[in-house]
Amino acid sequence: MLIELALSLLLVKIVDEIFMRKNQPVVIGEILIGILFSIFNFLMPEKGIIGSYSFSLNLEVAHPAFQFFAETGILLLLFVSGMETNLQDLKKSGRYGLMTGAFGVGITFLLVFLFAIYILHMSMRTSMVLATIFTATSVGVTVRTMMELGILNTKVGNTILTAAVADDVFGIVLVTVVLSHGELIELAFGLLLFFVGVYILAKFNIIERMMSYADKFFHGPYGLVTISLGLMFLFAYLADISHIATITGAFFVGLFIGQSRQERKIINPLRTIAYSLFIPIFFIKVGTLVDIPMLENFNLYLLGVIPVVFAGKIVGCALGARIGGLDMKSGWRVGVGMAPEMEVALVIATLAYGKGVFGQPLGSQIMALTITYVIVSSLTVPVLLKHLYRGEGEIGKS
């Protein structure tokens, strides 16, 4: 177990540096480490022997401790995402941001769901979960490209940024429903109970008051960070006993803490903890879920999901932006900018895999499909955006 953690963390920093220098998302490199671990375990025997001493050559990525780090990474990823979600920006974005996010999620979900039902012949629940995986947008690649083009602070850029916030909120709510477990009555009661609790917390600013009191009462170093982590695990537990996804609890408590005045004292130490240890382990774990023997009879029809998702994101977000008030040309640019997917898609796919929604070998194939979409969208969207802005004079004023 120790050698797995050591190799993971040492390789992560090396690979992150390589990918940053190549202007590529470091997440892809971290996933590739996990895939290499999986290949190593497939190729190597279980035991090595030197003289009379035998030792394991397998990397024990299925070890409970490694799993703990990965699952904590999932919670931290959504917790930090919630803290970084600016509700004020969402309110300022007006209808074009909300409509873009809503149509992007809705149309993408519908197209992938229909493709899964009628082309892939999946069950209703499996189709819903597959469709949910590809609803959440990650605009990190888009933001970097728009900064290069000088168009980040334009109406198109602001729409993409604010629609991505709405997209996350809509996506989390959707995940809450499709990954919920238990009987229908239990599920409905759990959802009602959880979101009534969320409403009460928001209405009376309970989390903000708690953080303000904690800030005055605790004088030791990193007291607020520890309290925040405790609340993250507590809300994840409350979500779980309400028969909904644990990431929903982590996201919403992060959202509330992010709106408090204490956020600035918490976010940087929290990022250090999350991104130096737990989140990289999670992405390596994602890569290890690509089980090499399970890909031998890969269903090539699954690859059809990739153009379906692209079409859903581009058409849905463009339509939403157009209804929200942007012209059609700007709408297409917004649609392309909203096509990339990364962290949240991988989180949903991993959770579904862990819950056995897909079974084997389909689960491993869908993990491979999700990773493929992440890589393809990260590479193609910058090219498409630059093509859409080609030939314009002062591109930053478009």
**Which tokens belong to 84?**
């970084």
Q: Is the pLDDT of residue 40 over 70?
A: yes
Distance CA 79, CA 75 (A): 6
* Region for residue 197 given its phi and psi (left: phi exceeds 0; alpha: psi -120 to 50; beta: otherwise): alpha
Q: Which whole number is the average pLDDT over 112-122?
A: 97
Residue 34 pLDDT grade (very low, low, confident, very high; cuts 50, 70, 90):
very high
Residue 25 is classified by DSSP as -
Angle ∠(154,159,163) on CA atoms, nearest 5: 155
pLDDT of 189 above 60: yes
Of the listed ranges 117-121, 344-348, 391-395, the least confidently predicted one is: 391-395
- Residue 136: its pLDDT value, please? 85
| 346 Cβ neighbours under 8 A, 6+ residues apart | 27, 31, 283, 286, 370, 371, 374
Q: Which of 116-120, 131-135, 269-273, 358-362 has the lowest mean pLDDT?
A: 358-362
The letter for the amino acid at 319 is: L
The predicted-structure confidence for 278-293, as pLDDT tens digits, reads as follows 999 999 999 999 888 8
Q: How confident is the model at residue 397 (pLDDT cuts 50, 70, 90)?
A: very low
Q: Please, which pLDDT band fits residue 57 given cuts at 50, 70 and 90?
A: low
Per-residue pLDDT at 152: 75
Q: Which residues pair with 55 in a beta bridge?
A: 48
Of 83, 26, 98, the C-alpha closest to 279 is 26
What's the DSSP call for residue 121?
-
Mean pLDDT for 236-245 is 88
Residue 162: what pLDDT? 81
Confidence of residue 329 (pLDDT cuts 50, 70, 90): very high
Confidence of residue 220 (pLDDT cuts 50, 70, 90): confident
3-class DSSP state of 66: helix
Cα 201–chain centre separation: 25
Rounded CA gap, 233 and 79, in Å?
10
Q: Residue 252: which pLDDT band, with cuts at 50, 70 and 90? A: very high
**Residue of 317, 346, 349 lying closest to 333 (CA atoms):** 317
Q: Which amino acid is at 21?
A: R
Beta-carbon contacts of residue 255 (< 8 Å; ≥ 6 apart)? 82, 83, 85, 87
pLDDT of residue 244: 83
Give me the pLDDT at residue 47, please.
56
DSSP-assigned letter for residue 63: S
Alpha helix positions (H), the chain:
2-21, 26-43, 64-83, 87-92, 94-118, 124-133, 140-149, 155-178, 184-203, 206-217, 223-241, 246-258, 263-273, 279-288, 305-324, 328-337, 343-354, 362-388
Query: Which residue type occupies 218?
Result: F
User: Mean pLDDT, the chain, as a whole number?
Assistant: 87
Q: According to the model, what pLDDT value does residue 148 have?
A: 77
Instruction: Tell me the whole-structure pTM to 2 decimals.
Output: 0.84
What CA–CA distance (Å, rounded) separates 293 from 32?
Answer: 17
Average pLDDT over residues 377-396: 79
CATH number for the domain whose boundaries are 2-397? 1.20.1530.20
317-326 residue pLDDT tens? 999 999 988 8
* Rounded (10°) angle between helices 206-217 and 223-241: 150
Looking at residues 162-191, what average pLDDT do you find? 79
CA 326, chain centre distance (Å): 27
58: DSSP letter: S
Taking residues 120-128, report their average pLDDT. 95
Cis status of the peptide bond prior to 361, with omega within 30 of 0: yes
Over range 58-85, report the average pLDDT. 87
Amino acid, res. 353: Y
Which is more confident, 245 or 187? 245
Least confident interval from 64-73, 107-116, 383-392:
383-392
Instruction: State residue 175's pLDDT score.
Output: 85
Lowest-pLDDT choice from 122-136, 146-160, 294-308, 330-344:
146-160
Q: What is the distance between the terminal CA atoms of the chain, rounded to a whole angstrom?
A: 53
**Cβ neighbours of 277 (radius 10 Å):** 18
C-alpha gyration radius of the chain: 21
Most confident of 19-28, 302-311, 348-357: 302-311
Q: Nearest-5° angle of CA 90, CA 278, CA 194? A: 50
**DSSP helix/strand/coil, 119:** coil
Question: What pLDDT score was predicted for residue 332?
Answer: 94
- Which tokens go with 47? 């035991």
Estimate to the nearest angstrom the gap between the alpha carbon of 51 and the chain centroid: 47
